[in-house]
Structure 1
C-alpha cells in the first residue's frame, strides 16, 4: 500500500525519475530482456518487545533512521507499519545488498526506538488496534470504506520489473495471470492472527481482500481497456484514485514498470531474492512469448480466484490448482514445473544458480508460514514465533 501516501507531486516526480532508469521502447524487439530492471518494496510490522503487540511507533522509528537511508524508508497506512523500497537494478547481488542495508538499518532504528522490526504478513499477537497515520488521503479512505481497515497492519511485498511501454505492459499482465497463484503460495507468511492459528498460510491475504479493489488481474484487451476499467472503478466509488488499484499485478501508477503485489512480506532476504528473480523471469518469459506470437492462457476469472484462495490457504505445504489441467496437485510439484519453464530467462539474467539454491533451501525449511508454525510448536509460545521472525528479518547472510 505504499502508493497510499503519495501525493500527485511526488507521483509525477517518481514517474519522471523512473523513466530514465528503465531501458527500451514501445517496440518489443527493442526491449532487451537482458536489461530488465527489478526493484522491491517491503512492508514491516513494528512490535512491542515485551508483549509482541503491534506498536504505534513509526514516528519514533523514522527519527532513528540513518540519513543515508531516509529516502528509501516511509510511513505506511498504520502507525505500526513501516516500508522500504530499493532503487531499480539489474543485478540480484546488488539488490540483496540494498535490501540488507535497509533491513539492518531499519531494525537498528526500531531497537533504538524501543520496538522491534518484524517481516510478517500481519500481527500474530492480539492487542489494541494501532491508529492510522495522519494523512488527508487516509482520512478520506476511512470515511469512504469504514471498518474495512482490518488489523494491526497488513504487510506485503511488491516487485517492480521495468517494461517501459504500457501497451506491452498490459500484454505482460495477461501472460502473468496463471503463474501468480504459485508465487502467492511461496510468500505465505501469516498463519497466526490475534493469538490464534487461522488455518491459513496467509491470513494477510484474507484481511487484505476486504478492500473492494483487491482481486486477480482481469483479462485485458489493451492499454485503453485498462484505462477505461480504472476510470470506471473510480467513477463507481470503489477506488478513490488509480493508487487504489489493488490487482495482484498492475501497471505501476508512478514508474514505467509492471508491479506484482500478490504476497506477504517474506521473512528473510533469501526468500525475497528468490521471488524477485522469479518475477523478473516471468516478465522476461512473457516478453519472449509476446515477441514469438504465443498467446497468453485466458484463465477464467473465478478459477483464477480459486487458485489464489488455495494459495492463501495452503501455501506451498499443501495443494495448488493446476490451471493447465484444472485439478489439484502438490504445490511444490507445480512450482518446480514453473521454474523449469522459466529456465531460459533465469539463465539469460545469470540467476539460475541462485534460484536453484534458494528454491532448494525454501523447500527444506518451508515457507514463512511453515517456519512460524514450527517455532510455535516447540513450546506453544508466540514469543518464540516473534523471536524467530525478528532474527530472520535482520539476517543478511547469503544462505543460497
Structure 2
C-alpha cells in the first residue's frame, strides 16, 4: 500500500556519471528525503533523475561499463528502487497465517525501518533504498529477504515470495488501521483472501508532466513484464489454470486496470478526483493502475507483477523496468509519440499474460497478433537495449535472462515441483528456499 504524501520534483543535480555516496543512516526509509543529494531522493539534470547511491555493497563491473557509456554520449541516468510483499505461512501446511507481529518482533532492529506490515496480518513488506547500481538493489533485497526468512523461522513460520496463497485455510484478519477498516466497510467481500503480494518498481523522474508521458509510453509493454513475473498458479491446493491467480483476484478491485492514455498531469489528477468521488477509491493510494505516479515519491511506479520468487528475478525485472522508463524518456525528448493501444486489447493482453505466463503466448500490441511470450520478451529487450547498456546493466540482464530461460517463470517452477512430488508442502519448501536466496 502506498502511503499518502506529496513528492518533491526537480532538484539540482551533481555531475552525472559520478557515483555519489550518502551516509547509511536511512535503513528505515526505502526512499528517504533527508540528507541525500539535493535534499531529496532524486535530483534532475536534463530531465533525468539521479539518485544518491547508498554504500551498501562493493562496486561491480557495471560501474565501469556505465561510465564508458556516459563518456560516449549518454548523460541521463535513472534511479531505481523496489518494494516486495511476502506471504507468511504455516511450514507444515502452506496455509497463510496471521503472524506479521510475531515476525516483526524478530526482525533485527537496524532493519525494521525497511520492513513493514501490509494489508493483511499474513503479509509483510520490504523496500530497498533507491540506487543507480543494480548491485546495491541486489544487496539490499538479499539482506532483507534473508533477515525476514530468519525472523519467520524464529517465529515458527515461513516467508514466501509468492503472488497469493497456494492452499486453503482460515482467512487472516486485516491489519488494524482505520483506513483498512474503511476499505472493509465499503468493499466487503472483495477483501477476504490469504494475501495478495506484488512487486513495485520505482524509477525516478524529473516532474509529474513528464511522468504522465512516461505512463503513456510504457503501457503497451507492461503485459510482457506481467507474464515474466507470473508466480501464483495454485489456489486452494489446486492448479488454477492461470500462471498468476493473484492477477485474477486482484482485478476484482474496481480501480485495478491498465493506466488510460493521459493528456496531461491535470488529466491524471482530475481522474483521481473523479474516481474518489465515484466511490471506487477511498483515496489516491487506492489508484491501483498497473503504472502510476507515486503519491509519495517523485517516481513512476510500475506495479504489475506478482512478487518474484528470487532476488535474481527481482533484479531482472527492476533492470527491465528502469530501461523501459529510460527509453520512454528518450522517445519523449525526441518528440516520438506513444503507441495509442486500444484499451480493450490492452486488457486482453494482460489477461493473456496472467493466464499463459512466460511459457505460453501473448498479445503483440503493435499488431494485435498472438506470439510466443519469449519472442515478445526478446522484442522488449531489443527495444530497451541501449538504455540497459547506458546504465551498465546489459551483461547482467543477459545472464539473468539465460537463467530465466533455463529455470522458467515462478509459476513454471512451482508446477514443476508439484509435478515431481504431488505435495504442496514441497512447493512451499522450494519457494522458501528461493525467497531466502
Same fold flag (TM > 0.5): yes
Q: CA deviation at 1:136?
A: 0.4
Change (3 A) 1:122 1:292: same
Does residue 286 of structure 1 match 2:305? no
Q: CA deviation at 1:16?
A: 4.9
Does residue 162 of structure 1 match 2:204? yes
Partner of 1:45: 87
Which of the residues 360, 366, 369 maps onto 2:411? 369
Q: In structure 1, the residue corresponding to 2:303 is in which secondary structure?
A: strand
Q: Aligned pair count?
A: 390
Does residue 357 of structure 1 match 2:399? yes
Partner of 1:21: 41
Q: How does 1:82-97 map to 2 (within 5 A)?
A: 82-97=124-139
Q: How does 1:236-247 map to 2 (within 5 A)?
A: 236-247=278-289
Which of the residues 352, 371, 379 maps onto 1:337? 379
CA distance in 2, matches of 1:171, 1:10: 17
Contact 1:150–1:208 (Cα < 8 Å) also in 2: no
Q: CA deviation at 1:35?
A: 2.5
Q: Deviations over 1:81-115 (max 9, x none)?
A: 00000111100001100000100001111111111
Partner of 1:270: 312
- TM-score if structure 2 supplies the norm length? 0.86
Contact 2:4–2:285 (Cα < 8 Å) also in 1: no
Q: CA deviation at 1:126?
A: 1.0
Q: CA deviation at 1:10?
A: 12
Which of the residues 178, 195, 204 maps onto 2:220? 178
Q: Deviations over 1:112-167 (max 9, x none)?
A: 11111100000101111011111100000000111001410010000000003000
Contact 2:211–2:293 (Cα < 8 Å) also in 1: yes
Judging by fraction of residues, say which structure has more helix: 1
Q: In structure 1, the residue corresponding to 2:355 is in which secondary structure?
A: helix
Any gaps of 5 or more consecutive residues in structure 1?
Answer: 396-400
Contact 2:84–2:126 (Cα < 8 Å) also in 1: yes
CA distance in 2, matches of 1:131, 1:392: 27
Does residue 202 of structure 1 match 2:244? yes
- CA-atom RMSD in angstroms: 1.8
Q: In structure 1, the residue corresponding to 2:44 is in which secondary structure?
A: coil
Q: In structure 2, the residue corresponding to 1:316 is in which secondary structure?
A: helix
CA distance in 1, matches of 2:435, 2:6: 33
Contact 2:6–2:295 (Cα < 8 Å) also in 1: no
CA distance in 1, matches of 2:309, 2:98: 21
Partner of 2:19: none
Q: CA deviation at 1:33?
A: 6.0
Contact 1:150–1:207 (Cα < 8 Å) also in 2: no
Change (3 A) 1:57 1:281: same
Q: Deviations over 1:311-343 (max 9, x none)?
A: 000001000001112110000001001101111
The worse-fitting range, judged by mean Cα deviation, of 281-290 and 49-58 is 49-58
Change (3 A) 1:10 1:307: closer
Contact 2:49–2:206 (Cα < 8 Å) also in 1: no
- TM-score if structure 1 supplies the norm length? 0.94
Contact 2:49–2:204 (Cα < 8 Å) also in 1: no
Q: How does 1:314-325 map to 2 (within 5 A)?
A: 314-325=356-367
Does residue 386 of structure 1 match 2:428? yes
Partner of 1:132: 174
Contact 1:310–1:320 (Cα < 8 Å) also in 2: yes
CA distance in 1, matches of 2:133, 2:404: 21
CA distance in 2, matches of 1:210, 1:130: 19
Change (3 A) 1:66 1:222: same
CA distance in 1, matches of 2:417, 2:76: 40
Q: In structure 2, the residue corresponding to 1:294 is in which secondary structure?
A: coil
Contact 1:78–1:131 (Cα < 8 Å) also in 2: yes
Partner of 1:398: none
CA distance in 2, matches of 1:196, 1:206: 15
